[in-house]
Amino acid sequence: MHIYKVGGAVRDRLLGRPVSDIDWLVVGATVEEMHAKGYRPVGADFPVFLHPTTGEEYALARTERKSGRGYGGFTFHASPDVTLEEDLIRRDLTINAMAEDEAGVLYDPYHGKNDLDQRLLRHVSPAFAEDPLRVLRVARFAARYAPLGFRVAGETLELMRQISASGELQALTAERSWKEIERALMEAQPQVFFQVLQACGALPELLPELEDDTQALVALEQAALHEQPLHVRWACLLHGLAPASIKAVNQRLKAPRECQELALLTGECLAQGNQALALPAMALLELLQKFDVYRRPQRFEDFLVACQMTAFGEGKAGYPQADYLRGAAAAARAVDVKPLVQAGLTGQALGEALKAERLEALEVYQRS
Ligand code: CTP
């Protein structure tokens, strides 16, 4: 049995990037031998094991053939006679199809090292097309390695075009697509992910709402430059869409609740945020209420940052509305409910009195 380090760990070591998790490939072993050595199987019908002490993943060398549409439609053939080259050829990109043995010797039958040096994302073989998720993976790697000067090879982009045109992307589950989108959003240049999807015709398949949206990517770029968290990046990406479209995208991709919520609120309230300095006190109050700023102050703060990123994306140097709205929120939040309760107010009457006091506080704030 021969054991090799494969995939991202080899790639990132050669790029001088930190290696987070290591995938191992086992050539020349049977399932029984793996059991006998104490490896624990990950699933019943998948030839992947966990190391008895390190917990790292060890996969038996395998070949794969697509037997139907979608992710479930795969037949695996794992046996001791599957060679290293046969296992590597089914992988997505040449830079992901390198292996390293225990002595640190590099095995690179598909010239991944050369493509790393040329800064090229190139598919290994026509087997690339067997998993349409790879269209998103390539776009994600393009976003991650854009600062290093990587680009998608022409022939790979062409293949991605064919996959997009075939309608196969529709077979991806929301969970798998979102996982890629989420990781892409957190990369250094997430806008490149969407640019690559646009270039290969995948954007109309996955996110048709964004097709003619020129502001989405510049806002996202700003959010990444300012190292904003996932939900702020998501809100920036969708900020220009109508609320109904934001809802549709959120639901179709099953985005996490925090992302869904902030994107929708941002889409609904961005215009008011931008006009904050001219809003009457009542409109300010309604904006604060809508965000439930009294119980969810961080969500309002995230909204202000998202607005600011979209303004930066439009070339504005600053966003004075943010500090103004922070001040307004502080003024409204400073209203003390206790005296009203002590005065015997409850229910609707208490709500109305509180609202009136907050309105007054906002008017004072506006005059100050
Ligand atoms: N792989 C593939 N096609 C996929 C998913 C994975 O060919 N759809 C192969 C690639 O060889 C990849 C390896 O399996 O390098 C491990 O996959 P994964 O852990 O998802 O990605 P990494 O390449 O390790 O990249 P990342 O740094 O993004 O985790």
Is 176 marked within a binding site? no
Pairwise CA distance, residues 328 & 248, whole Å:
32
Q: What is the chain's mean pLDDT, rounded?
A: 95
- What is the residue with the minimal CA distance to atom 18 of ligand 1? 8
pTM of the entire predicted model: 0.93
pLDDT in tens, 311-355: 999 999 999 999 999 999 999 999 999 999 999 999 999 999 999
347 HSE (CA, 13 A, CB side):
1
pLDDT band at 212 (very low <50, low <70, confident <90, very high): confident
Yes or no: say if 78 and 67 are a contact pair by the CB < 8 Å rule: no
pLDDT in tens, 117-152: 999 999 999 999 999 999 999 999 999 999 999 999
- Whole-angstrom distance between the N-terminal and C-terminal Cα of the chain? 77
Helices within the chain (DSSP H only): 8-15, 31-36, 84-89, 112-118, 133-145, 154-166, 174-185, 190-199, 203-206, 214-225, 230-238, 243-253, 257-274, 281-290, 297-313, 320-333, 338-342, 347-367
CA of residue 96 to ligand 1 center, whole Å: 7
Question: 23 CB less than 6 Å from ligand 1?
Answer: yes
Which residues, in sequence order, are bridge partners of residue 123?
93
**Residue 97 alpha carbon, nearest atom of ligand 1:** 11
Q: According to the model, what pLDDT value does residue 68 have?
A: 58
Helices within 46-111 (DSSP H only): 84-89
Yes or no: say if 174 and 181 are a contact pair by the CB < 8 Å rule: no
Is 91 marked within a binding site? yes
Is 323 marked within a binding site? no
pLDDT band at 73 (very low <50, low <70, confident <90, very high): low
The mean pLDDT value for 152-173 works out to 97
pLDDT band at 72 (very low <50, low <70, confident <90, very high): low
Q: Which residues contact 294 (CB under 8 A, 6 or more apart)?
A: 288, 332, 333
Pairwise CA distance, residues 344 & 352, whole Å:
13
Yes or no: say if 218 and 289 are a contact pair by the CB < 8 Å rule: no
- In this structure, are strands 74-78 and 62-66 parallel, antiparallel, or unpaired? antiparallel
Question: 91 CB less than 6 Å from ligand 1?
Answer: yes
Question: How many residues comprise the chain?
Answer: 368
Cα 296 to Cα 102, 270, 283, 300, 301: the distances in Å are 52, 18, 19, 7, 9
